Structure formats: C-alpha cells, structure tokens
Structure 1
Amino acid sequence: MPKSDIHPNWFKSAPVFYDGKPICLIASTKKELQVDIWLANHPFYTNSQVMIDSEGRVEKFMKKYRLNTNEE
C-alpha cells in the first residue's frame, strides 16, 4: 500500500515575479516564484554580453611554469 500525504502541494497557476512585476503563470510546488534573471534581462538574449579578453593567457601560463615557448 503506498503512503498517503507524502507529495507536496501542486499549484496549477503559480505566478512568476521579476522585480515585483508578474511575468507569467506556471505550475509549481511553490505558491509564487521570484526570479532575478529571465529572458528579457539575460545578457545572452539582450546582446549585452561582456567578452573576456583571453589574449596572453598561454604566455602567462608558460611564464608561470617557466616553460620554453620556442619551437625547435
């Protein structure tokens, strides 16, 4: 016989809030959800990504471990 009353409550229309404003409704085990990042403010989707300058990383590694960088 399976145990009864072990599953969490299921809310069929739980609102998702961003910055105090409702974004959408989803089904969840929480009554309401607060998110910090979503599609409209994510750097990938808003083309505001910062590119990391990786130039010189190999040279820095070679210098750190005193490896010879000359090809012979």
Structure 2
Amino acid sequence: MPKSNIHPKWFKDTPVLCDGKPLSLVGSTKNELQIDIWLGNHPFYTKSQVVIDSEGRVERFMKKYGLNSADQ
C-alpha cells in the first residue's frame, strides 16, 4: 500500500516577491517565494550589462592565433 499524507501542502496562489514587491502568483509548495533577480532587474535584459576585458584576454587570444581585428 502507498503511504498516505506524504505529499507536501500545495499553495495555489503563492506570491513571488523581489525586494518585497509582488511580481506574480504561482502554484508552489512554499507559501511565499523570494527571488533576487528577475527579468525586470537582470543586467542582460535591462541593457546595463558591461563586458569587462580583464587582464587583456581578448588581446592575448588575438595575438596567440595571429588575428587582427581588421581580418574579420
């Protein structure tokens, strides 16, 4: 016989919160979901992403394989 009462409680309208602000309602086994990053504040989607060339990695790659930016 399968065990009874082994499934967690299902919350039909669980609020998804980011910085205390409600974003949406979803179904979950938790009564509240806290998230740090979502579509509205992710650097990729807000076009605030900065690509940093640390330690000249691009230049080292180009030099290693004998490529120039004008070759493209």
Instruction: State the TM-score, normalized to the length of structure 2.
Output: 0.73
Amino acid at match of 1:25: L
Count, aligned residues: 63
Amino acid at match of 2:32: E
Amino acid at match of 1:43: P
Cα distance in 1 between the residues matched to 2:44 and 2:32: 26
Structure 1 position 45, deviation (Å): 0.6
Aligned to 1:16: 16
Aligned to 2:7: 7
- Runs of at least 5 residues in structure 2 that lack an aligned partner in the other structure: 66-72
Instruction: State the TM-score, normalized to the length of structure 1.
Output: 0.73
CA 1:56 to 1:8, structure 2 compared with 1: closer, same or farther past 3 Å?
same
Cα distance in 2 between the residues matched to 1:51 and 1:12: 40
Cα distance in 2 between the residues matched to 1:35 and 1:57: 38
Please list every run of at least 4 consecutive aligned residues from structure 1 whose deviation after the TM superposition is greater than 3 angstroms.
56-59
Aligned to 2:25: 25
Aligned to 1:56: 59
- Runs of at least 5 residues in structure 1 that lack an aligned partner in the other structure: 63-68
CA 1:10 to 1:58, structure 2 compared with 1: closer, same or farther past 3 Å?
same
Q: Secondary structure at the match of 1:12?
A: strand
Amino acid at match of 1:5: N
